[in-house]
Structure 1
Amino acid sequence: MKNSKWVSAALASALLITAGVGSVSAASVNSSGKTSTNKKTAIQATVKVKEGTATWTVNGTPVAFKTIDSNGYKLYSLSQVAGEMGAALTWGANGIELNDSQGLHTIQLKAGSKSYQVDGSQQTFTVAPVAYKGKIYVQLTKFVLGLGGELQTNPNIILSPARPAGEFETMHWTADGRIIANQGDAEFTQIFKFSTVQGNYETFSSDERATDFSVSPDQTWGAFTDDKGQMNLINLLNGVVKTLGTDTSVKTDLTWSQDGKKIYFIQGDKQEKISQISVETGVVTEVLADKVENKSELRISADEKTAVYIVNLTGVAKNDADSTEDSLTVDFSKAGEQLYKLALGTKDAKPVALTTTPDNKLYPEILADGSITYLSADPDGNTINTIKTIKADAAVSDLTLDIEVTWSAKVSSGLIVAGTATDGSTRIYSTTPAGSKTELYRTTKDVAEIAVSDDGSKLAIIIDGKILVIQNGKALQLTK
């Protein structure tokens, strides 16, 4: 809400203009809105000024502010700046009082006085506010910061409120095109929702259970379990949390069906089963109970005909018929992470091993053409990480890239892949099943986390704990 016209009118009635165009003498204003006649408080010297304008982008909108140059200092119209920032003005015991739009900060000041207060703390302007032609002009930086805003230069930008500062983590995109992220270094749980415009954010939730969740295909719900194993849903538009069903068994790797009606998960203390829960009824149904432990990274195809997951196989213990301690040996020849495939909806279907190799396997995905991809990492570090593709005929191929892959995620067009190039830079590519790639972004800094919008057109990344949104190859920093 803009208050500039109202603020301007209020100030105009309270100012004493004593000089003609091009000069001014400012008088102090008391709490009743009248100028002081006390010779000790009145400004005695006439100050020559030069009128002008300065354009700043305020919360995404260009604004031409009225300015005056007074003795070498550029001062800005208080009423105009306050109005664009949504601040409200009242007359307080100490003169003019302004309150920011969120009710968090208060400035108290007087025309002609360098001394002012921010939230009750004494501060000092470099140059005192000046009264000129029915308006008060103030030092921009200190005034904006006092109202909880932020300034950037080259280009000139004012944000109200300022971007939140902290170490952010665990990002998710939502149906309304915004980003939800948790402030990991906050004293208490702080989950924010950001738009892709600087300064446009809100506190989304303080529920410590909901710092991470699996997002539904339509990006309107998140699913998570609490410390009791209870499944919960969080509305990604308003933050409201509701429980789903009554089952409290251990659930990990939550994965939504494409129609949003079911959530698949790995179940059990030893991650030995695959099950699903109905979003409508909360009823849990077992999908696979083959007693094979250490399942993870569950993926479900869009048509719900295929499940893919990783099993971390451990060593097999062997001993003689008497089971003596001395005869005990452990066979590690088949230990390691292997990828498995299960035909859903097929009665008595058995999991099929897709891999037997000793490499570590991460980020499995089922693409639209039915092929399966995963990140292959040599545990000994003798070869670089690559993306491998398993076709329907079981043929395996490598995705040719000029980076060592560190992360990948599925989008409608294929994969988004990130990794490190030989020059040390981090590069992010969009790739297709046919093998073509398009560079989306590169940076010399380490990228800690990546989230991709549903259509793959926008990225959110975290660098040094800060959130940046990437569009058309350009980065916009949302936090500081």
Structure 2
Amino acid sequence: MLLKKASIVSVLALAVGVSSVGAVSAATVTKASVVQVNSSAFIVNGVPVNINTFIEKGKTLVGIRDLSNKLGADIQTEKSNITVSLNGSTVEMKLNSKVIDADGVEITLEVPVKSLKGTGYVELQAFVEALGGHFLKDDSGNIWLDADLLGGVDHIQWLDSARLIASQETDSGRLDFLVDALSTKYEKLRIVQDASDLILAPNGTKAAYTNAAGEVYVYDFNAKSESKVSSDTSIKPELVWSADSSAIYFLQGDKGSVIAKLDLAAGTISKILEDKVDYKANLDVSIDGKTFTYTVTKPGAVVADGSKPVESDDVTIDMKGTEPQIFAYTVDPSIKDNKAVQLTTSTDDKVFIHAAADGSSVSYVAVSDDAAAKSILVTVGKDKTVKTLFAEKDIFEATYAAGKWYLLTEGTASSQFVYEVDSATGAAKQLYTVSDSVSEVVAKAGSPIAVINDGKVFLSNNGLWKPTTR
């Protein structure tokens, strides 16, 4: 959820190393006296490299064989003809020609394909994109070249320190992909398109979801297969894994009235709380599986003027008292008529909600109905005491990972900030300056910070933002 339109990445500089340049058999040779060849820095498939280039008519020409090898492409030469193949795409070109063929589509270059001292050169960006690769020049002038990036990503989640799940929303349903964060290679997961959001297990090996019928499935990332773990067809609007990944808790019913538990080993479902309170949401479960925190939102009341006829349809909705409130329920058989405790009564909206691992407190971003007021990060304990964790900047988006909050906040007139906030002490530090096309920050313990910038995913990588999807 994005509270306000938020931010792009401001990228830092990177020092890169040197690598050798290969050769392509050639016919006609460009005169060396009129060409200034330079060893130019690029980041190819996430790795800093140097490749020989020269500039002509404002275009950068790059060594064909060297770049092809670094992209992982296959290259074949026969006299003056050069064929390069990558991920099912094939580019054919001929020395001294301004036309290259990309899978049957002719592309006209500004500068013809050239040979210099036995090495073939071609326009850099045109060649990479003809191969189906990705070309990106960041704000600091660094050029990222990637063999193949997944496109059209709507949402990502970190699976572990090296892999993430990227999801695409399509007209026919959602598609999910497993992406290697370093190489950017990806593979489609064989999951039914009517699946609910994937809920990743804490052990990083499984994901849970329901199908359209409400049945529960678990996908095993090691076996790369899914299995049905419950045939129960009651509506389950939210799934939450237990800390040891052995059970799945969920809200049950079309109004989320019941908190239930699915034991994966036994395949049985038991009810934890059935208090006839509707519209529960934002379920969290403590490590010991005994404390459950959630919000309750009351529906608005229909108000009609009794003096008017029913057919006039003159009704209004009274939204007073409908703000979400946070509750905590602790399983304790020793307490007779044990009930959930309401922790908040405030009239602010409550978003980006996350409970402490032991269930002792719940943190959230409080959004005032006063448009001039800042959205702030607060925490409420079981004693109902509310404390402010961060109020320095207006908060647009927030995510929690391993005891830290990562906030996307207001910044200057043309940029915004990413802050890290300690959930226990409230100690805050600014990590990054970002501009106004970043919409989300994604974090997980042991994984790089990721941002979604104008629909593209970038990972923090040694002071740079590495493009991971396009």
Q: Same fold (TM over 0.5)?
A: yes
Report the counterpart of residue 114 of structure 1 in structure 2. Answer: 98
Report the counterpart of residue 187 of structure 2 in structure 1. Answer: 203
Report the counterpart of residue 130 of structure 2 in structure 1. Answer: 146
Structure-2-length-normalised TM-score: 0.78
Could you say if the C-alpha distance between residues 420 and 141 of structure 1 is closer, same or farther in structure 2, counting changes exceeding 3 Å? closer
Could you say if the C-alpha distance between residues 68 and 448 of structure 1 is closer, same or farther in structure 2, counting changes exceeding 3 Å? closer
The whole-number CA distance in structure 2 between the counterparts of 1:376 and 1:121 is 54
The answer to whether the 8 A contact 1:94-1:108 is kept is: no
Report the counterpart of residue 454 of structure 1 in structure 2. Answer: 445
Which residue of 334, 340, 343 corresponds with 1:354?
A: 343
Could you say if the C-alpha distance between residues 99 and 371 of structure 1 is closer, same or farther in structure 2, counting changes exceeding 3 Å? same
How far is 1:316 from its partner?
7.4
How far is 1:266 from its partner?
0.6
State which drifts further: 345-354 or 379-388: 379-388
Report the counterpart of residue 456 of structure 2 in structure 1. Answer: 466
Which residue of 306, 315, 325 corresponds with 1:338?
A: 325
Which residue of 455, 466, 470 corresponds with 1:476?
A: 466
Could you say if the C-alpha distance between residues 123 and 312 of structure 1 is closer, same or farther in structure 2, counting changes exceeding 3 Å? closer
The answer to whether the 8 A contact 1:402-1:421 is kept is: no
Letter paired with 2:232: D
The whole-number CA distance in structure 1 between the counterparts of 2:464 and 2:73 is 32
The whole-number CA distance in structure 2 between the counterparts of 1:74 and 1:355 is 61
Q: Gapped runs of 5+ residues in structure 1?
A: 17-24, 27-45, 319-324
Structure-1-length-normalised TM-score: 0.76
Which residue of 130, 144, 159 corresponds with 2:145?
A: 159
Could you say if the C-alpha distance between residues 422 and 311 of structure 1 is closer, same or farther in structure 2, counting changes exceeding 3 Å? farther
How far is 1:345 from its partner?
5.1
Letter paired with 2:157: H
Identity rate of aligned residues, in percent? 27
User: Could you report, residue by residue, the CA deviation over 1:15-51 in whole angstroms, capped at 9, with x for unpaired residues?
Assistant: 56xxxxxxxx36xxxxxxxxxxxxxxxxxxx845558
The answer to whether the 8 A contact 1:182-1:211 is kept is: no
The whole-number CA distance in structure 2 between the counterparts of 1:355 and 1:239 is 43
The whole-number CA distance in structure 1 between the counterparts of 2:73 and 2:415 is 43
How far is 1:236 from its partner?
4.4
The whole-number CA distance in structure 2 between the counterparts of 1:174 and 1:464 is 22
Report the counterpart of residue 388 of structure 1 in structure 2. Answer: 378
User: Could you report, residue by residue, the CA deviation over 1:375-412 in whole angstroms, capped at 9, with x for unpaired residues?
Assistant: 33334547443333223433222224212334434332
**Number of residues of Structure 1 aligned to a counterpart in Structure 2:** 433
Could you say if the C-alpha distance between residues 71 and 271 of structure 1 is closer, same or farther in structure 2, counting changes exceeding 3 Å? closer
The answer to whether the 8 A contact 2:82-2:94 is kept is: yes
Q: Gapped runs of 5+ residues in structure 2?
A: 1-18, 304-309, 311-315
The whole-number CA distance in structure 2 between the counterparts of 1:59 and 1:391 is 46
Could you say if the C-alpha distance between residues 286 and 88 of structure 1 is closer, same or farther in structure 2, counting changes exceeding 3 Å? same
1:179 and 2:164 aligned: yes
Letter paired with 1:429: Y
The whole-number CA distance in structure 2 between the counterparts of 1:406 and 1:275 is 33
The answer to whether the 8 A contact 1:265-1:274 is kept is: yes
State which drifts further: 221-230 or 381-390: 381-390
Other structure's SS at 1:307 match: strand
Letter paired with 2:242: S
Other structure's SS at 1:281 match: coil
Could you say if the C-alpha distance between residues 430 and 236 of structure 1 is closer, same or farther in structure 2, counting changes exceeding 3 Å? farther
The whole-number CA distance in structure 2 between the counterparts of 1:213 and 1:252 is 12
Could you say if the C-alpha distance between residues 97 and 336 of structure 1 is closer, same or farther in structure 2, counting changes exceeding 3 Å? closer
The answer to whether the 8 A contact 1:48-1:71 is kept is: no
Could you say if the C-alpha distance between residues 216 and 474 of structure 1 is closer, same or farther in structure 2, counting changes exceeding 3 Å? same
The answer to whether the 8 A contact 2:135-2:146 is kept is: no
Report the counterpart of residue 276 of structure 1 in structure 2. Answer: 261
Q: What is the root-mean-square deviation in Å for CA atoms of aligned residues? A: 3.9
How far is 1:195 from its partner?
4.2
Q: How does 1:86-105 map to 2 (within 5 A)?
A: 86-90=72-76, 95-100=81-86, 102-103=87-88, 105=89
State which drifts further: 208-217 or 84-93: 84-93
How far is 1:317 from its partner?
9.1
How far is 1:332 from its partner?
7.2
User: Could you report, residue by residue, the CA deviation over 1:311-366 in whole angstroms, capped at 9, with x for unpaired residues?
Assistant: 11246799xxxxxx9xxx99976544221111125365321222233333333322
Larger Rg: 1
Report the counterpart of residue 221 of structure 1 in structure 2. Answer: 206
The whole-number CA distance in structure 1 between the counterparts of 2:120 and 2:300 is 78
The whole-number CA distance in structure 2 between the counterparts of 1:278 and 1:136 is 63
The answer to whether the 8 A contact 1:426-1:446 is kept is: no
Letter paired with 2:132: G
1:257 and 2:242 aligned: yes
Could you say if the C-alpha distance between residues 211 and 295 of structure 1 is closer, same or farther in structure 2, counting changes exceeding 3 Å? closer
Report the counterpart of residue 124 of structure 1 in structure 2. Answer: 108
Which residue of 382, 404, 408 corresponds with 2:398?
A: 408
Greater RCO, CA 8 A, separation 6+: 2
How far is 1:267 from its partner?
0.2
The whole-number CA distance in structure 2 between the counterparts of 1:382 and 1:188 is 39
Other structure's SS at 1:313 match: coil
Report the counterpart of residue 274 of structure 2 in structure 1. Answer: 289
Report the counterpart of residue 19 of structure 1 in structure 2. Answer: none
The whole-number CA distance in structure 1 between the counterparts of 2:180 and 2:293 is 34
How far is 1:188 from its partner?
7.2
The answer to whether the 8 A contact 2:31-2:116 is kept is: no
The whole-number CA distance in structure 1 between the counterparts of 2:235 and 2:370 is 33
Letter paired with 1:267: Q
The answer to whether the 8 A contact 1:316-1:331 is kept is: yes
Task: Give the 4+ runs in structure 1 shifted more than 6 A.
Answer: 68-74, 91-94, 185-188, 329-333
User: Could you report, residue by residue, the CA deviation over 1:168-224 in whole angstroms, capped at 9, with x for unpaired residues?
Assistant: 322200114233222346887543444444x62313336424573222112322211
Report the counterpart of residue 47 of structure 2 in structure 1. Answer: 61
